Copies of this chain bind each other. A is one copy, B any other.
Amino acid sequence: MTAHKYQALANTIISKIAAGHLRFGEKLPSIRALMLSHDVSKNTVIKALAELEKYDYIEARIRLGYFVKFKHIENNTPVTLNAEIQPVEVTIPQIFYDIMQRSAAFDISPSCNEQYQSKYLLQLQKDISKATKVSPFIKASYYDSPIGLLSLRKQICTRYRNRDFLMDESEVCITSGCQHSLFLSLFSVCKPGDTVAVESPGFYGIIQLLEQLQLNIIEIPVASTTGLDLDALEQAASKWDIAAVVVTPSFSTPTGALMPIKNRQRIVTIANTHDFAVIEDDIYGELGFDSNLPPVKTFDSEQRVILCSSFSKSLSRDLRIGWVNGGRWHEKIIRLKLTSQLASGQLQQLAVAEFMANGHFKRHLHSFKSSLLLHRNQLLSALLQYGPSAIKYSLPQGGLALWVEFSQEINTTKLYSTALKKNIVLTPGQLFSSAGHFSNSMRISFNHPYTGQRLNALKQIINPDNCQGL
Seen from chain A, the residues whose Cβ lies within 8 Å of a Cβ on chain B are 97, 100-101, 104-105, 107, 110, 115-118, 121-122, 124-126, 128-129, 132-133, 136-146, 176-177, 179-180, 183, 192, 205, 208-209, 211-212, 312, 315-320, 335-336, 338-348, 447-448
Interchain CB contact under 8 A, B128 and A338: no
Please give, as numbers and ranges, the residues of chain B lying within 8 Å of A343 by CB-CB distance: 104, 317, 320
Contact of A318 among B118, B144, B179, B180 (CB under 8 A): B144
A275 to chain B, nearest CB (A): 23
Known interface pairs A121-B137, A318-B347; A101-B338 also in contact (CB < 8 Å): yes
Contact of A115 among B141, B183, B319, B342 (CB under 8 A): B141
Interchain CB contact under 8 A, B117 and A208: no
Contact of A101 among B101, B146, B315 (CB under 8 A): B146
Interchain CB contact under 8 A, B209 and A339: yes
Interchain CB contact under 8 A, B143 and A447: no
In the complex, A205 Cα to B335 Cα: how many Å?
11
Contact of A143 among B105, B128, B208 (CB under 8 A): B105
Interchain CB contact under 8 A, B140 and A318: yes
Please give, as numbers and ranges, the residues of chain B lying within 8 Å of A128 by CB-CB distance: 128-129, 132, 347
Interchain CB contact under 8 A, B341 and A139: no
What is the chain B residue whose CB lies nearest that of A113? B138
In the complex, A118 Cα to B141 Cα: how many Å?
11
A170 to chain B, nearest CB (A): 16
A171 to chain B, nearest CB (A): 19
Please give, as numbers and ranges, the residues of chain B lying within 8 Å of A342 by CB-CB distance: 104, 177, 179-180, 205
Interchain CB contact under 8 A, B212 and A340: yes
Instruction: Count this chain's copies in the assembly.
Output: 2
In the complex, A454 Cα to B126 Cα: how many Å?
36
Contact of A136 among B121, B141, B340, B447 (CB under 8 A): B121
In the complex, A376 Cα to B316 Cα: how many Å?
43
Please give, as numbers and ranges, the residues of chain B lying within 8 Å of A137 by CB-CB distance: 115-118, 121
What is the chain B residue whose CB lies nearest that of A132? B125
Contact of A122 among B107, B136, B208 (CB under 8 A): B136
Interchain CB contact under 8 A, B125 and A133: yes
Other A-B pairs, 18, CB within 8 Å; known A116-B137, A179-B342, A318-B347: A97-B335, A101-B146, A104-B343, A105-B143, A107-B141, A107-B142, A118-B137, A121-B137, A124-B136, A125-B136, A140-B318, A141-B448, A144-B318, A179-B340, A180-B340, A209-B339, A212-B336, A320-B341
Contact of A317 among B139, B192, B348, B448 (CB under 8 A): B139
In the complex, A121 Cα to B133 Cα: how many Å?
11
In the complex, A136 Cα to B316 Cα: how many Å?
9
Please give, as numbers and ranges, the residues of chain B lying within 8 Å of A211 by CB-CB distance: 339
Contact of A141 among B105, B126, B335 (CB under 8 A): B105
Please give, as numbers and ranges, the residues of chain B lying within 8 Å of A117 by CB-CB distance: 137
In the complex, A385 Cα to B415 Cα: how many Å?
76
A56 to chain B, nearest CB (A): 27
A361 to chain B, nearest CB (A): 13
Interchain CB contact under 8 A, B345 and A320: yes
Please give, as numbers and ranges, the residues of chain B lying within 8 Å of A183 by CB-CB distance: 339-341
Interchain CB contact under 8 A, A208 and B338: yes
What is the chain B residue whose CB lies nearest that of A133? B125
A207 to chain B, nearest CB (A): 10
In the complex, A97 Cα to B138 Cα: how many Å?
22
In the complex, A107 Cα to B137 Cα: how many Å?
14
A118 to chain B, nearest CB (A): 8
Most buried by B among A105, A132, A344: A132
Known interface pairs A132-B128, A132-B129; A179-B141 also in contact (CB < 8 Å): no
A-B pairs with beta carbons under 8 Å apart, 8 shown: A101-B145, A105-B142, A115-B137, A115-B141, A129-B129, A139-B316, A180-B340, A318-B345
A92 to chain B, nearest CB (A): 9
Please give, as numbers and ranges, the residues of chain B lying within 8 Å of A345 by CB-CB distance: 318-320, 345, 348
In the complex, A129 Cα to B127 Cα: how many Å?
10
A344 to chain B, nearest CB (A): 7
In the complex, A256 Cα to B136 Cα: how many Å?
27
A145 to chain B, nearest CB (A): 7
In the complex, A347 Cα to B128 Cα: how many Å?
10
In the complex, A141 Cα to B121 Cα: how many Å?
11
Interchain CB contact under 8 A, A138 and B125: no
Interchain CB contact under 8 A, A317 and B101: no
Most buried by B among A138, A315, A345: A345
